[in-house]
């Protein structure tokens, strides 16, 4: 089978982005775009790609859900034995990407990941549906497994183990906060002349904004 990918063409005409449209604080600008994405009823608007790098310099990417955003940074949760968590322990530099292509938008974040405190993790864990809590116990994330049947067997085992009472937070499960130092907002434009604005954090914790060529 031959795929004719070269002939696939889309003109980006949903809107432009001007400096006057931007909030001086990129976190507030991100919240504005996130709310617009939610209002547009896109599936999983908080889905983001997380890129990490292993000890050999090999990048790796995966999609994770953003669970909080404030002035401190971008928060997500994961098994601490997972590939991403282990790579972040070796190299906390990380990049996030929000692919809101249905709105002809994307956001790229560069920053440093810091592991969350147990108190922060517990506060979130208790809000998860019970099956999601059990899933955290059942899965040794990123480890090989011989079949889905075995995975479900592990899940049922955890369901029986915690049949009564609250489910505790696994000691191998936690979260990270990505503290950004660079955030780029991208809006598609006609003739591939896209609008790109990059925020960079300064030593005094202020942000500078510059337009980038597409």
Report CA dihedral (51, 197, 43, 127) to the nearest 10 degrees. 70
CA pair distance 108, 62, nearest whole angstrom: 14
* Residue 83 a catalytic site member: no
- Copy the structure tokens of residue 195: 């609008």
Catalytic pick among 9, 192, 196, 211: 192
Contact 54, 90 (CB under 8 A): yes
Crossing angle of the two packed helices 148-161 and 130-138, in degrees rounded to 10:
120
CA atoms within 13 A on the CB side of 191: 1
First to last CA, the chain: 33
Whole-number Cα distances in Å, 207 to 23, 75, 145, 204: 11, 20, 46, 9
CA pair distance 81, 60, nearest whole angstrom: 15
- Copy the structure tokens of residue 15: 């809107």
Query: What secondary structure letter does DSSP report for 166?
Result: P
Active site residues: 192
């Amino acid at each position: 089978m031959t795929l004719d990918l070269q002939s696939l063409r889309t003109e980006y005409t949903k809107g432009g982005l001007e400096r006057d449209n931007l909030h001086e604080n990129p976190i507030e600008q991100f919240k504005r775009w996130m709310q617009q994405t939610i209002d547009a009823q896109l599936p999983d608007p908080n889905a983001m790609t997380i890129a990490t790098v292993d000890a050999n310099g090999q990048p790796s990417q995966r999609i994770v859900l953003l669970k909080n955003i404030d002035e401190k940074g971008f928060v997500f949760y994961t098994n601490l034995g997972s590939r991403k968590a282990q790579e972040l322990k070796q190299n906390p530099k990380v990049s996030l990407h929000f692919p809101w292509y249905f709105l002809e938008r994307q956001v790229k974040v560069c920053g440093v990941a810091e592991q969350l405190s147990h108190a922060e993790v517990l506060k979130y864990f208790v809000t998860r549906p019970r099956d999601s809590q059990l899933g955290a116990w059942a899965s040794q994330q990123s480890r090989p497994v011989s079949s889905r049947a075995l995975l479900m067997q592990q899940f049922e085992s955890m369901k029986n183990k915690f049949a009564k009472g609250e489910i505790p937070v696994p000691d191998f499960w936690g979260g990270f906060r990505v503290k950004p130092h660079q955030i780029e907002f991208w809006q598609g434009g006609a003739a591939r002349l896209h609008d790109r604005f990059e925020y960079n954090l300064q030593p005094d914790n202020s942000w500078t904004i510059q337009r980038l060529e597409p």
